[in-house]
């Protein structure tokens, strides 16, 4: 039996509405497998939390980088609220131990789990906003997610990875990168793609995503890491 009180102690926030806390960790698959449960899944909370998170991050970046253009701030925000970054944060604070999933989903520790963790983090923010108010959420995000900003800025991870890898490949190797779908799986409403990035005939790296565009971006990011082309 999952004890959500342990998570409350860990983050030092005690919820008034315990059902709201539990709902934030409840994946749709758990409801499908346990239809008699009195708690709904967390997708509405995720919708709310996504908006609250975007406001907190936008406010932080606007004040921290007064000389950045709107375009640069937008790119930096997108990099910071990226599902991979958020899932790393969620994993670090122990959210994975409290997920309510179907038996099938519970066995999957791959890319799908990353998205579940990222969505849960946002749903938890939505629940915390309703239960505790904006200021408490602001402190939570400032402590857990915003420290990632320095790494993103220093490594220029906010730059569009596909544009950057194309620029570097042409500069150093006179190649224009090519992207090829190596694998796709899942039903139409929940596709997962694996895309390879090639310099000529050479496969440099692979990336995964829930769309071809996301998989291409992730493969470009992986190629930048392989080539050590962050400047």
Q: Is the pLDDT of residue 191 over 90?
A: no
CB under 8 Å to 85, separation ≥6 — which residues? 79, 145, 148, 152
- Domain identity same for 101 and 64: yes
Classify residue 231 by burial, with Cβ atoms within 10 Å: 0-12, 13-18, 19+.
exposed
Mean of per-residue pLDDT scores for the chain: 90
203 beta partners: 198
Predicted pLDDT at 175 = 85
| Structural domain count of the chain | 2
- Domain identity same for 67 and 115: yes
- Domain identity same for 132 and 172: no
Predicted pLDDT at 230 = 66
- Domain identity same for 168 and 136: no
Q: Is the pLDDT of residue 150 over 70?
A: yes
- Domain identity same for 149 and 50: yes
Q: How far apart are CA 165 and CA 161, in angstroms?
A: 6
| pTM for the full predicted model | 0.74
First to last CA, the chain: 48
List the CATH number of the domain containing 73: 1.10.1520.10
Q: Is the pLDDT of residue 209 over 90?
A: no
Q: Which domain holds residue 146?
A: 4-154
- Domain identity same for 218 and 127: no
**End residue of a domain, out of 128, 154, 180:** 154
**End residue of a domain, out of 131, 154, 177:** 154
Catalytic residue set:
50, 122
Q: How far apart are CA 31 and CA 42, in angstroms?
A: 10
List the CATH number of the domain containing 205: 3.30.160.20
User: Distance of CA 160 to CAs 79, 171, 212, 226, Å?
Assistant: 9, 17, 15, 16
Segment 107-149, tens digit of pLDDT: 777 767 888 999 999 999 999 999 999 999 999 999 999 999 9
Which residue in this structure is represented by tokens 């042409």?
170
Q: What torsion do the CA atoms of 97, 102, 107, 113 make, to the nearest 10 degrees?
A: -60
**End residue of a domain, out of 125, 154, 183:** 154
Which is more confidently placed, 143 or 85? 143
Q: Which of 141, 119, 118 is nearest to 128 (CA)?
A: 141
Return the number of other C-beta atoms located less than 10 Å from residue 7's C-beta. Answer: 19
- Domain identity same for 197 and 135: no
């Amino acid at each position: 039996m999952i004890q959500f009180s342990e998570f409350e102690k860990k983050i030092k926030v005690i919820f008034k509405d315990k059902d709201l806390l539990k709902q934030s960790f409840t994946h749709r698959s758990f409801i499908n497998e346990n239809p008699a449960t009195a708690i709904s899944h967390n997708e509405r909370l995720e919708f709310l939390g996504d908006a609250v998170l975007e406001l907190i991050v936008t406010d932080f970046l606007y004040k921290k980088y007064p000389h950045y253009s709107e375009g640069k701030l937008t790119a930096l925000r997108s990099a910071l609220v990226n599902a991979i970054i958020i899932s790393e944060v969620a994993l670090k604070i122990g959210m994975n131990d409290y997920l309510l999933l179907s038996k099938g989903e519970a066995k999957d520790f791959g890319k799908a789990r990353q998205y579940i963790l990222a969505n849960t983090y946002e749903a938890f923010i939505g629940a915390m906003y309703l239960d505790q108010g904006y200021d408490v959420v602001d402190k939570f995000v400032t402590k857990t997610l915003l420290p990632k900003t320095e790494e993103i800025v220093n490594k220029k991870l906010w730059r569009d990875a596909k544009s950057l890898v194309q620029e570097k490949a042409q500069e150093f190797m006179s190649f224009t990168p090519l992207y090829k779908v190596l694998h796709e799986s899942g039903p139409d409403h929940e596709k997962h793609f694996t895309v390879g990035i090639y310099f000529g005939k050479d496969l440099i790296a692979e990336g995964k995503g829930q769309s071809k565009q996301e998989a291409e971006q992730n493969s470009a990011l992986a190629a930048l890491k392989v080539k050590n082309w962050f400047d």
